[in-house]
Structure formats: structure tokens, C-alpha cells
């Protein structure tokens, strides 16, 4: 049965500070004066005019000694060494792949900084170079770690661990990188029956939890078997939950996603994206997270 729901738009409600969390953040909008004290140094997201330090982006002010930066809420991804990212191959070049990772410049993945199928460790020969498209081709998604950041901000990736590599079946959700919480691990097998990779670059990959961790192939064979309906339902629900959390600007990490998933269980999957349902489940999630903090 076709379901078409239409509604009148409602004005956005002004939300107060979510909770006393000890030490309010110093938030600024573009053009706001951060400080009139001339003793500070101008960092990212700021500029000096008439001896005042002014914000050029909306976000939170961060101070490191004399350096003042504004960390923008809505931004492209700024790579840092050790970050886990999910990216899409856009180009195959000589000895390297270009990867789109939501940063200002395309990232690169060198042929020499990946494990060849079969986990072989050897010099990369000309044959390997010719076979590059067999490993990864345009449009493929990969998970990788940031190996280094060039002076212009471009990122070099590596997949030198069996954790990383080509991604198979699943769903990609793109969010703002500032909403992904930095944690020890960004690979999570959630108890609800699916796994997520929370890329620091705001690309989130949701996929069915692999049954046996078969590392032999080095992650270059993709399983094209259809995913059972029950798994797909869980993945769809997780996807909608993440979209809900992001619309309400809640940080993404395993606990918040799981709490949101549990809060959504009383609703149908497609109803989660209705504004009022979204608000309700995110409120419940936020409450549980606050209780957890104590």
C-alpha cells in the first residue's frame, strides 16, 4: 500500500544548552569577536581586524597557550595521522589511487602502502602496477588509516593491516566529520547484529557482521551473496538512527548509536525519519547518555 505523508513545515525550535556538562564551550559565529587582547596568535578559523581577533567560521574556540583556533562544526575533513577513514576510489594512477575522503584535496593511497592480496610482503613489480585495477577500481570503497599529511593538507593513506581494505556489501552514510567522536577503536561490532566503521572523515559504513573473520584473501574478494532480510532490516534501522542523530547534532560513537537503535525499536524503520519521531528517540538517547555519565 502506498504511503504518502505530507505536512506543513514547522519552525525550528530553539534548543537550550543540552545539559550542564561542566565548563560551557565558547561558541562563536562568523564575525564574532573572540578577543580584543592583542597577546594572542591567530590560528585556523580566525582573522585579525582592527586589532581584534574575529572568528571566520561557526564553531568552538580552542586555545593552546597563545594560539587561538576555531574548530568549525560543519567542515571538510582535516586529516590527522592515525585517523581511520572510509573513502571512495576516484582514479587509478601510476603506483597510486586517488581517494575521495571528504577532505579539501583528494587523498592518495600508494600501491606500496597496501597489503597485496594473500598478504604477500614483497617488492611491488611492474606486473603489480598493471594489475592495480584488479585490486581496487573506480567507485570502490575502502577503509584505511592516515599515514601522513602533506604540507598542503592532502592525506596519504595506508591499508597495511588486515583490518583495512576493500569494503563489501553495506550502506554508506555521510555526516559532518565534527560529529564523529574520536575513540580508541572505530570498528564496532554492535550487539544488534551489524557492524559499523565510523570514519573520522564522516563517512560511516554499516555492514553485516562477517561470520568468520576470513583474513586469508586479504579483503579483496567481495561476497556478492544476498544479505538476509533480517540483517538488512537491522542495517536500515541503524542507518536511519545515524541520520536521526546527525540531524539533531548528537555525537556519533558506539554507545550513542546503540542507545538510539534501542530507542527506535518501538517504531517502524521508515517512521524513524519523521521529524517528531526523530526528536523523540534522540531525546531518549541523550537522556540515557547523560545518565551514563552520571
Partner 1 sequence: AKTFTLLQSEAVFWNGKDLEDLRVDGRGCEDYRCAEVETDVVSNTSGSARVKLGHTDILVGVKAEMGTPKLEKPDEGYLEFFVDCSANATPEFEGRGGEELGTEIANTLYRVFSSESSVDLKSLCINPREHCWVLYVDVLLLECGGNLFDAISIAVKAALFNTRIPKVRVLEDEEGSKEIELSDDPYDCIRLNVDDVPCIVTLSKIGYRHVVDATLQEEACSLASLLISVTSKGALTSMKKVGKGSLDPESIFEMMEMGKRVGKSLHIALQKILDEEESLGTSRQKVGFLG
Nearer to partner 1, 49 or 225 (CB): 225
Q: Applying CB under 8 A, which of residues 57, 60, 149, 227 lies at the interface with partner 1?
A: 227
C-beta closer to partner 1: residue 183 or 230: 230
Among positions 167, 194, 257, 281, the unique one binding partner 1 when judged by CB under 8 A? 167
Which of 27/171 has CB closer to partner 1?
A: 171
Window 171-190: residues binding partner 1 (CB under 8 A): 171-172
Neighbouring C-beta atoms of residue 246, cutoff 10 Å: 20
Residues 34-93 binding partner 1 (CB under 8 A) are 88, 90
**Residues forming a β-bridge with 142:** 87, 166
Q: Which stretch binds partner 1 (CB under 8 A): 59-67, 147-155, 169-177, 279-287?
A: 169-177
Does 2 bind partner 1 (CB under 8 A)? Our answer is yes
Q: Which of 274, 279, 284, 288 binds partner 1 (CB under 8 A)?
A: 274
Q: How far apart are CA 103 and CA 80, in angstroms?
A: 11
Cell of residue 199, nine digits:
570514519
Pairwise CA distance, residues 243 & 126, whole Å: 44
Report DSSP letters for 127-192, one per residue: HHHHTHHHH--TT-EEEEEEEEE-TTS-EEEEE-STT-EE--S-EEEE--GGGBPP-S--EEE-TT
Q: How many residues line the site for partner 1 (CB under 8 A)?
A: 45
Phi then psi for residue 261, to 5 deg, are -60, -45
Provide the binding-site residues for partner 1, judged by CB under 8 A: 1-12, 88, 90, 138-141, 167-172, 222-224, 226-227, 229, 232-233, 235-237, 239-240, 243, 268-270, 272-275
Amino acid at each position: 500500500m502506498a504511503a504518502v505523508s505530507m505536512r506543513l513545515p514547522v519552525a525550528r525550535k530553539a534548543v537550550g544548552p543540552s545539559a550542564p556538562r561542566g565548563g560551557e564551550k565558547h561558541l562563536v559565529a562568523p564575525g564574532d569577536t573572540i578577543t580584543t587582547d592583542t597577546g594572542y596568535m591567530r590560528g585556523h578559523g580566525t582573522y585579525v581586524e582592527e586589532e581584534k581577533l574575529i572568528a571566520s567560521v561557526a564553531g568552538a574556540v580552542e586555545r593552546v597557550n597563545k594560539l587561538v583556533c576555531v574548530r568549525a562544526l560543519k567542515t571538510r575533513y582535516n586529516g590527522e595521522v592515525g585517523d581511520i577513514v572510509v573513502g571512495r576510489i576516484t582514479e587509478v594512477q601510476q603506483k597510486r589511487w586517488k581517494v575521495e575522503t571528504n577532505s579539501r584535496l583528494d587523498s592518495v593511497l600508494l600501491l606500496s602502502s597496501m597489503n597485496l592480496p594473500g598478504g604477500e610482503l614483497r617488492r611491488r613489480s611492474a606486473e603489480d602496477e598493471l594489475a592495480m585495477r584488479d585490486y581496487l577500481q573506480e567507485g570502490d570503497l575502502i577503509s584505511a588509516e592516515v599515514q601522513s599529511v602533506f604540507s598542503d593538507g592532502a592525506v596519504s593513506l595506508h591499508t597495511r593491516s588486515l583490518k583495512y581494505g576493500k569494503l563489501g556489501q553495506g550502506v554508506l552514510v555521510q555526516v559532518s566529520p565534527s560529529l564523529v567522536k574520536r575513540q580508541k577503536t572505530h570498528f564496532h561490532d554492535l550487539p544488534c547484529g551489524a557492524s559499523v566503521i565510523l570514519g573520522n572523515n564522516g563517512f560511516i559504513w554499516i555492514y553485516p557482521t562477517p561470520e568468520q573473520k576470513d583474513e586469508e584473501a586479504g579483503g579483496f574478494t567481495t561476497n556478492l551473496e544476498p544479505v538476509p532480510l533480517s540483517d538488512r532490516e537491522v542495517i536500515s534501522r541503524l542507518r536511519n538512527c545515524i541520520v536521526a542523530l546527525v540531524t539533531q547534532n548528537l555525537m556519533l560513537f558506539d554507545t550513542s548509536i546503540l542507545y538510539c537503535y534501542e530507542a527506535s525499536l518501538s517504531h517502524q524503520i521508515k517512521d524513524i525519519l519523521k521529524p517528531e519521531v526523530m526528536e523523540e528517540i534522540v531525546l531518549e538517547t541523550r537522556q540515557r547518555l547523560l545518565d551514563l555519565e552520571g
